[in-house]
């Protein structure tokens, strides 16, 4: 019971930057009753936060009425099994596509968690039963269909191009005799997708007064600054007679790269005689699901290039020992998990091989060590290898909107009383907040990270320090070398770059 009177809610970001995404909303009713729900429940995938994964969630799970999941990335749904283990009894709402992919992804995360726990001599953080329980209580919502999750709360999942199945979520909270409190959670957001036309926010939602909780991963950057060079690089590298090992995420990136390779074949830019391979169990499952997905435009579902083969433990050795030119796609995107761990030691010393990272290479990651080897060498499991491969990377596949694209969506959202910024590196959040203020279309902008906002029918009541979550930031670092996708360093106190990482 709350001592405060009135109808309002508090919202807290339980993640400081971009990883371990989880928002806690507590609705306060005039009779003193409260109701809590969460939006996303993600794993921490970046140092120095990973040690937080096996800690208890910073709320009483049994008191959470329901959970909304925006999309199937581990840093948004990877701690659902922990939520179950801790006694959550409500329902989880997401799209059918997210649920379909999530059943495989959560099992994949489980295997990685078991491996990590074994290495660190820890007990597993959760069991397969917790995964099953999470899936059993997951309800599927159709896009733009309003669902009552309880007598006072309606949710509407909205289209989003971030990932197949991803959604922004509109929540309407009502109370007898009071005006509704409306919140639009953008989730990780992108206005476009190569797979389909992304639908705009419906008119009826635009008209309603609302608070928008927006991501800000690339809030520091304009879409005009993105450099696209992948489709030029691939024919050029192949023209030099080299093979390519392309590191991809299991959902989204693997399928997008296959689609682009097929287009390059069709345009005659790369020869269909060069075989294309895909290794990684989860990537293969997802690829088959994409081929059958009704969410994808029909003519695009046939996206496998010619001369394409799946690789598994039966034919992997042949792929490695065959010295002919090839394009090999493998998980993980950062080369630190999955079959990439087999290919890197095999290929890293070869002069006729190129390593191509299709995701952002974060500082001090394994990928960064390959990209910037010390004295031309890298140590893997105690063995030193010469790094002779050329290393390429690109951030052009990023599935996040840039500042101008989010601002244009925020304008379209209409009747916005308050914008709360979260899910971005600290400096990105600040730069993005300033960009929104400069665009002057909304009355109030606040940075949510590490704060709790108290919001009523006229928008923000106050913003205060969060009692729920207090994480010590990593040690301050001086300027790092310029890298694609990295926020330009503007002051010395700028912290380690953390980015939303995908499976
Ligand atoms: Zn994401
Ligand atoms: Zn994210």
Range 168-173 average pLDDT: 98
pLDDT value of position 153? 98
pLDDT value of position 37? 98
Closest alpha carbon to 456 in 13, 38, 9: 9
Alpha-carbon gap, residue 380 to 391, rounded angstroms: 17
Q: Is the peptide bond before 274 cis (omega within 30 degrees of 0)?
A: no
pLDDT value of position 372? 92
**pLDDT tens, position by position, 205-247:** 999 999 999 999 999 999 999 999 999 999 999 999 999 999 9
**Least-confidence region, from 15-19, 24-28, 157-161, 221-225:** 15-19
pLDDT value of position 120? 82
pLDDT tier, 201 (very low <50, low <70, confident <90, very high otherwise): very high
Range 368-377 average pLDDT: 93
DSSP conformational letter for 125: S
Distance 459 CA to ligand 2 centre (A): 25
Distance 165 CA to ligand 2 centre (A): 14
Which ligand sits nearest to residue 217's alpha carbon?
Answer: 2
pLDDT tier, 45 (very low <50, low <70, confident <90, very high otherwise): confident
Distance 215 CA to ligand 2 centre (A): 8
Distance 188 CA to ligand 1 centre (A): 5
Range 112-136 average pLDDT: 91
Torsion angle in degrees (nearest 10) through CA of 375, 377, 382, 383: -140
pLDDT value of position 176? 94
pLDDT tier, 50 (very low <50, low <70, confident <90, very high otherwise): low
Q: What percent of the chain has pLDDT over 70?
A: 90
Give the residue, 441 or 95, on which the prediction is more confident.
Answer: 95
Distance 348 CA to ligand 2 centre (A): 30
Closest alpha carbon to 477 in 496, 454, 462, 464: 496
Supply 194's token pair: 């190569």
Distance 173 CA to ligand 1 centre (A): 26
pLDDT value of position 425? 86
Distance 260 CA to ligand 1 centre (A): 21
Distance 165 CA to ligand 1 centre (A): 11
Which ligand sits nearest to residue 21's alpha carbon?
Answer: 2
Distance 29 CA to ligand 2 centre (A): 31
Alpha-carbon gap, residue 24 to 34, rounded angstroms: 13
The answer to whether 330 and 340 are in contact (CB under 8 A) is yes
pLDDT tier, 54 (very low <50, low <70, confident <90, very high otherwise): low
Alpha-carbon gap, residue 476 to 474, rounded angstroms: 6
Distance 75 CA to ligand 2 centre (A): 6
- pLDDT reading at 491 higher than 80: no
Distance 352 CA to ligand 2 centre (A): 36
Give the residue, 252 or 493, on which the prediction is more confident.
Answer: 252
**pLDDT tens, position by position, 464-478:** 877 655 444 444 333
pLDDT value of position 53? 66
pLDDT tier, 497 (very low <50, low <70, confident <90, very high otherwise): very low
Distance 3 CA to ligand 2 centre (A): 35
Spatial neighbors of 238 by CB under 8 A, at least 6 apart, are 244, 270, 271, 274, 325, 327
Distance 73 CA to ligand 1 centre (A): 5
Q: What percent of the chain has pLDDT over 90?
A: 78
Which ligand sits nearest to residue 503's alpha carbon?
Answer: 1
Model confidence, pTM? 0.90
Alpha-carbon gap, residue 208 to 196, rounded angstroms: 27
Which ligand sits nearest to residue 43's alpha carbon?
Answer: 2
Range 161-165 average pLDDT: 97
> Torsions phi, psi of 278, nearest 5?
-130, 120
- pLDDT reading at 492 higher than 60: no
Torsion angle in degrees (nearest 10) through CA of 414, 17, 117, 120: 180
Question: Domains (ranges, CATH) in the chain?
Answer: 8-221+398-465 (3.60.15.10), 227-393 (3.40.50.10890)
pLDDT value of position 46? 64
Distance 76 CA to ligand 2 centre (A): 6
- pLDDT reading at 4 higher than 70: no
Query: Which residue is listed with tokens 């030193």?
Result: 384
Closest alpha carbon to 135 in 169, 163, 168, 100: 100
């Amino acid at each position: 019971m709350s001592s405060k009177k009135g109808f309002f809610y508090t919202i807290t970001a339980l993640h400081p930057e971009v990883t371990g995404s989880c928002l806690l909303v507590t609705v306060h009713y005039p009779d003193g009753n409260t109701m809590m729900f969460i939006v996303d429940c993600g794993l921490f995938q970046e140092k120095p936060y990973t040690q937080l994964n096996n800690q208890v969630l910073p709320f009483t799970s049994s008191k959470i009425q329901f959970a909304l999941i925006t999309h199937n990335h581990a840093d948004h749904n990877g701690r659902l099994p922990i939520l179950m283990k801790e006694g959550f009894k409500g329902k989880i709402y997401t799209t059918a596509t997210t649920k379909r992919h999530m059943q495989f992804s959560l099992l994949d995360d489980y295997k990685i968690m078991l491996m990590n726990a074994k290495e660190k001599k820890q007990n597993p953080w959760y069991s397969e039963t917790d995964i099953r329980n999470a899936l059993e209580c997951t309800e599927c919502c159709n896009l733009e269909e309003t669902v009552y999750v309880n007598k006072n709360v309606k949710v509407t999942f909205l289209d989003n191009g971030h990932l197949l199945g991803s959604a922004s979520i509109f929540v309407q909270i009502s109370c007898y005799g009071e005006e509704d409190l409306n919140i639009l959670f953008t989730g990780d957001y992108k206005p476009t997708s190569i797979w389909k036309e992304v639908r705009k926010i419906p008119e009826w939602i635009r008209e309603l007064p609302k608070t928008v909780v927006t991501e800000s991963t690339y809030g520091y950057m304009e879409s005009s600054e993105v450099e696209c060079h992948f489709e030029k690089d691939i024919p050029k590298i192949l023209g030099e007679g080299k093979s390519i090992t392309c590191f991809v995420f299991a959902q989204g990136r693997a399928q997008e790269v296959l689609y682009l390779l097929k287009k390059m074949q069709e345009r005659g830019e790369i020869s269909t005689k060069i075989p294309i391979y895909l290794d990684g169990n989860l990537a293969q499952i997802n690829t088959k699901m994409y081929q059958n997905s009704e969410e994808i435009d029909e003519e695009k579902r046939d996206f496998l290039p010619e001369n394409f083969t799946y690789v598994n433990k039966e034919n992997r050795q042949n792929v490695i020992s065959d010295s002919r030119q090839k394009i090999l796609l493998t998980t993980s995107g950062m080369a630190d998990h999955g079959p990439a761990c087999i290919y890197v030691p095999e290929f890293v010393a070869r002069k006729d091989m190129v390593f191509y990272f299709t995701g952002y290479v974060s500082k001090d990651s394994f990928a960064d060590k390959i990209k910037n080897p010390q004295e031309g060498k890298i140590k893997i499991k105690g063995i030193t290898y010469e790094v002779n491969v050329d290393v390429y990377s690109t951030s052009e596949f990023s599935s996040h909107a840039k500042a101008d694209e989010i601002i244009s969506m925020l304008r379209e959202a209409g009747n916005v009383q308050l914008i709360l910024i979260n899910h971005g590196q600290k400096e990105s959040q600040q730069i993005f907040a300033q960009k929104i203020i400069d665009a002057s279309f909304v009355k109030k902008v606040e940075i949510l990270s590490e704060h709790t906002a108290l919001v009523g029918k006229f928008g923000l009541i106050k913003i205060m320090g969060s009692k729920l979550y207090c994480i010590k930031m990593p040690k301050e670092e001086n300027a790092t070398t310029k890298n694609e996708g990295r926020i330009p360093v503007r002051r010395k106190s700028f912290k380690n770059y953390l980015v939303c990482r995908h499976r």
